[in-house]
Amino acid sequence: MNQSTRRVLLVVAETSQIHGWAHLASQLAAIDGEVHLRGMVIVPDGVSLSEGAMAAGQMRRDLNRLPQDFPHFSQEVKVHVGYEPMANVLEEISSLRIDLILAQWNGPHGLTGGISTDDILHETACDVVLAARDTWQQPGSVLLALRGGPNLSLGLDVARALADGYPITLLHAANTQRNFGPLGQLLENEPYITRVITESSDIRESIDRELPLHKVIVIGATFRQPEASESLAGPLVNTVYESSPSSLVLVRTGQPEHYTFHLPRYNVRAPVDLSTRVDRWFAESTFHSEEFADLRQLLALKEKQGLTISVGLPALNEEATVARVIGTIKKALMDDLPLIDEIVLIDSNSNDNTRQIASMFGIPVYIHQEILAREMGAYRGKGEALWKSLHVLKGDIVAWIDTDITNIRPHFIYGLLGPLLMHPRIQYVKGFYQRPIREGSRQQATGGGRVTELVARPLLNLFYPELSGVIQPLSGEYAGRRTLFEKLPFFTGYGVETGLLIDILEAVGLEGMAQSDLEVRVHHNQTLTDLSKMSFAILQVFIARLEQKYGAELLDKANRTMKTIVHEPGRFALEINDIADAERPPMISVPAYSLSRCPTASASG
């Protein structure tokens, strides 16, 4: 009997023997099949789901190694965190077009991923294979106990995969001892079935006798409506599990044979409250840059997906740090291994040697005020530089990092690219890190990010609580897909990160976003006066977006200049600063950009 090709969903809550599970999943997928990998982190009731973040990160690191060793495995690995994470796994079955789910099982009476065995069987329309205990990973023979009928083909496939070349004993439950013609034909086609026991009376007695001779027993779930006190797994499954320490594998086909069967409808689950949704996102979508340290794997993913990657470096008077930033990234991620396709400096008309230093590395250098100057004019500000950089950067994925970083390392880039390459659902990745602060000659390990903690995060919690799990909403290190960035407006100044974050939430939802731990970022800390100006601009962006959200008009009546206090030798006064970000339209709406991206189409038009 030839095993059919399948799309298999492997679901695990524990990774100590993960290679055995991966091998079994590959066997069930068959030659041309595919295996999707999902992990589960169960959080106790009453505890914030965000507490599962560290466990989820460790599980991802364990699981991400598998696609390198098992060619059937999809590169996208996801870990679900929740009180009932199996429920979230089951919701993916339809979209992934899964044929078979293989899951680590806690037995017929225990909860698996927070839900019961009956719930799993009720809510899963594909083939189900639930394996309890790990003795099945040892070499040895398999006991296949089936009545025939609905689970026969699936049971044989699973027994064959578990046996892995060892003999299979078929314990055939029948109403009579006479030999059935189909059974004889089955034995001719299945050489690994070396023994057949036909039992018409007490099948439990036969199982007790045979099980010590086998490493695992495979039993089919019932399709008959159980009594109120019974389980869909069937009374025999419960008895075997309680009486034997051997592995037990429960199988239930999604397409029962020999008689008509209709699966029950999926249960309608209550909507998840916002706080729980954010906690789950934090635990499942907070990555660490070290998860993506295998650069050859990232390169292979990039080539497989046919993507190009650009790194844009906004700069203004950064001659002290720009050489190290460019040199570090270029050597590790272009010269030694071509993960990125271009590095481009977007200068804001520096009056030091920033542009000259960058040119020495042979990379393109632009002054942002000169890009699209005839069509769109020019504003000051980092946001303007980022917006205009979309016109000159060529990549399908665009990463931006600031050029004032003094401790630059390659992981500042690949830590942002990794989630995008490994998880097609992710459209945008925000970097976060510890930010030391210097006070005089002393540097404290924490204390940076003052505007983040005193302005940005409190306002996000108030008005955009979906973003309350974003650790550093103002960080200057982030990456995303061009198809997203080109459709977004950009604020021209300090408010660019805030505006992008809110607009990206509206565009792709929380599930399309992620954040990555870049460890420690050291840079030149700004003065309180400069931070005050930054806060003033960010507050205006928040108000602008709240005007759109609630239909209010506030900024037209607000004062857009800020008086800062100047207290220096010989001077004590108020200084007026005009601080107001302009808002640039989505780049895709700029005709010159559209022409540069698709010149043949524009010419023919």
pLDDT at 549: 86
pLDDT at 266: 35
> What's the mean pLDDT in 137-155?
84
Confidence check: pLDDT of 224 > 70: no
Tokens of 328: 């570090």
575 beta partners: 564
pLDDT digits (tens, 9 = 90+) for 356-404: 999 999 999 999 999 999 999 999 999 999 999 999 999 999 999 999 9
pLDDT at 250: 95
- Which among 206, 214, 195 is positioned nearest to 173, based on CA atoms? 206
pLDDT at 263: 30
Other Cβ atoms closer than 10 A to 320: 15
Describe the crossing of helices 203-210 and 235-243 by its angle, rounded to 10 degrees: 30
> Could you tell me the pTM of the whole model?
0.82
- Which among 391, 602, 583, 405 is positioned nearest to 493, based on CA atoms? 583
Q: Which parts of 505-554 are beta strand (E)?
A: 513-520
> What's the mean pLDDT in 328-348?
98
Residue 520 contacts residue 407 (beta carbons within 8 Å): yes
Tokens of 458: 């409190």
Better-predicted residue by pLDDT, 481 or 558: 481
Residue 433 contacts residue 520 (beta carbons within 8 Å): yes
Determine which of 106-120, 204-218, 228-242, 426-440 has the lowest per-residue pLDDT on average.
228-242
* Order of strands, sheet of 73-82, starting from the edge strand that comes earlier in the sequence: 73-82, 34-42, 7-12, 100-105, 127-132, 247-252, 216-220, 142-146, 168-173, 193-199
Confidence check: pLDDT of 600 > 60: no
> What's the mean pLDDT in 270-279?
87
- Per residue, the 3-state secondary structure of 325-356, as one string, reads HHHHHHHHHHHCCCCCCEEEEEECCCCCCHHH
Residues in the chain: 605
Confidence check: pLDDT of 433 > 50: yes
In the chain the first and final C-alpha atoms are separated, in Å, by: 58
Q: Which parts of 25-110 are beta strand (E)?
A: 34-42, 73-82, 100-105
Strands 571-578 and 561-568, bridge-based pairing:
antiparallel
**Which pLDDT band holds residue 221 (cuts at 50, 70, 90)?**
confident
Q: Which amino acid is at 88?
A: N
Q: How far apart are CA 114 and CA 112, in angstroms?
A: 5
- Which among 501, 466, 89 is positioned nearest to 277, based on CA atoms? 466
pLDDT at 191: 78
pLDDT at 1: 37
Residue 589, classed as helix, strand or coil, is helix
DSSP structural state of residue 200: S
> What's the mean pLDDT in 543-571?
86
User: Average pLDDT, whole number, for the chain?
Assistant: 88
Tokens of 438: 């210097």
**Which pLDDT band holds residue 228 (cuts at 50, 70, 90)?**
very low
pLDDT at 50: 97
Other Cβ atoms closer than 10 A to 374: 7
pLDDT at 528: 82
pLDDT digits (tens, 9 = 90+) for 519-546: 998 856 678 888 898 999 999 999 999 9
**Which pLDDT band holds residue 579 (cuts at 50, 70, 90)?**
confident
pLDDT at 526: 72
Confidence check: pLDDT of 445 > 60: no
Confidence check: pLDDT of 555 > 90: no
pLDDT at 176: 53
pLDDT at 382: 96
CA distances from 216 to 145, 160, 169, 186, 522 (A): 11, 12, 11, 21, 56
Confidence check: pLDDT of 437 > 60: no
Range with the largest mean pLDDT of 192-206, 379-393, 587-601:
379-393
**Following DSSP, what letter does each residue of 209-235 receive, concatenated?**
HHGGGSSEEEEEPP-SPPPTTS-TT-H
Q: How far apart are CA 346 and CA 299, in angstroms?
A: 25
pLDDT digits (tens, 9 = 90+) for 1-38: 345 689 999 999 999 999 999 999 999 998 789 999 99
- The DSSP element (H or E) to which 428 belongs, if any, is strand 428-434
Confidence check: pLDDT of 227 > 60: no
pLDDT at 268: 47
Q: Which amino acid is at 52?
A: G
Q: Which parts of 454-512 are beta strand (E)?
A: 478-481, 490-491
Domains and CATH numbers, the chain: 135-253 (3.40.50.12370), 283-525 (3.90.550.10)
CA distances from 438 to 318, 332, 336 (A): 19, 29, 34
Tokens of 276: 């729980």
Exposure class string for 390-411: b at 16+ Cβ within 10 A, else e: bbbbebbbbbbbbbbbeebbbb
DSSP structural state of residue 115: B
Confidence check: pLDDT of 283 > 50: yes
**Which pLDDT band holds residue 603 (cuts at 50, 70, 90)?**
very low
Residue 146 contacts residue 172 (beta carbons within 8 Å): yes
Other Cβ atoms closer than 10 A to 453: 13
**Which pLDDT band holds residue 184 (cuts at 50, 70, 90)?**
low
pLDDT at 147: 66
> What's the mean pLDDT in 158-185?
75
**Which pLDDT band holds residue 175 (cuts at 50, 70, 90)?**
low
Torsion of the alpha carbons at 48, 51, 57 and 59, rounded to the nearest 10? -90
- Which among 384, 372, 590 is positioned nearest to 487, based on CA atoms? 590
DSSP structural state of residue 110: S
